[in-house]
Amino acid sequence: MTDAEELLGMVLMSAPAGDYDKRVVILTKERGKITAFARGARRPKSAMLAKTQPFAFGVFRVIEGKNAYTLLGAEITNYFMDIREDMVRTCYGTYFLEMAAYYGRENDPALDMLKLLYQTLRALCLGRIDDRLIRCIFELKMFVVNGEYPECFRCVVCGKKDGLGHFSSRLGGVVCHECKAGIHPLYPVDGSVLYTMQYIISTPVERLFTFRVTEEVRKSLRKIMDIYIKDHIDREFHSLDILKTLETA
C-alpha cells in the first residue's frame, strides 16, 4: 500500500462527483497538476467542504491510487476570500486558475507556476495595481515559466539590441527597424512598452507586482498579449467571456 503524501498546492477546479464526493484538480509544487477525490466533501458538515474550493492554498494530504489521488485532509493557509467577494476579481482569479490548469502537467513539479499563481492572486486581493495590468503581467510571466515567452531583448531576425520598435507574434519577439521590411503583421512597440515587457520577463515573481504603467502602455501591452496568446494558446477561456460582459456593463 502506498503511503500518504503531503503536497503544497492550490485548488484549481472543483466539481461534484457521485452523491457526496468532490473531484478536485490541484496544482502542487511536488507533483504538478493532480486530480484527487475528496470522499464526502459535499456533505454539509464536512471539514473538506471549504478546503476543496477553488483558490484554497495550503498543504494537501493525499494518497495515490491507480488513476487518481484520494484527498485525506488539508491545512489551508489562504482561502483568498477577498477575491470571491467581488465578481470581477472572481473572473480574473478563475481565469488565472484556468490558465494554470491548461499549462500544469502531472508529475512535473510546478514550484514556479504555483509561486506565480499565489503572488498574482495576492496582488488581486491587495488591489494596489489595476486588475487589467495584473492580468497582462500574469500572462507574460506564465509564458516565461513555460519557456515559450517572446524574445524582447534582441531582434529575432538579426540579433541586434537596439532600434527594437516592432513586435512579430509569428516570429516570436521584437524586430528592429532594419529588419522590419517584408514582415507581416508587425505591431509597434515603443520604449516604455518594451521596457515593461523586459521587466516582467526578468524580474522574480516576488517583486513583480510593484509597478504601474500609463493607460497607453497598458493598452499596447494588452494588444500584444492578445495577439501572442491567440497565436500560442489553442483554447478559449470561459472566464474571459464573463469578464467581457462585466467590464463593458
Element (H, E) at 242: helix 238-248
Least separation in angstroms between residue 246's CB and Zn ion is 41
Q: In the complex with Zn ion, which residue's Cβ is closer, 63 or 157?
A: 157
Q: Which is nearer to Zn ion, 27 or 176 (CB)?
A: 176
Q: How far is the CB of 194 from Zn ion (least distance, A)?
A: 14
Give me the amino acid identity at 204: P
Which residues are CB-neighbours of 104 under 8 A, at least 6 positions away? 12, 27, 32, 33, 110, 113
Q: How far is the CB of 224 from Zn ion (least distance, A)?
A: 18
Helix axes 111-126, 131-145, angle to 10 degrees: 170
CA distances from 195 to 71, 72, 108, 124 (A): 44, 47, 32, 23
DSSP 159: -
Q: Footprint of Zn ion on this chain (CB under 5 A)?
A: 155, 157-158, 160, 176, 179
- DSSP β-bridge partners for residue 75: 59
Output 86 or 151, the one with its CB closest to Zn ion.
Answer: 151
Give the nearest distance from C-beta 230 to Zn ion in angstroms.
Answer: 24
Q: Which is nearer to Zn ion, 157 or 227 (CB)?
A: 157
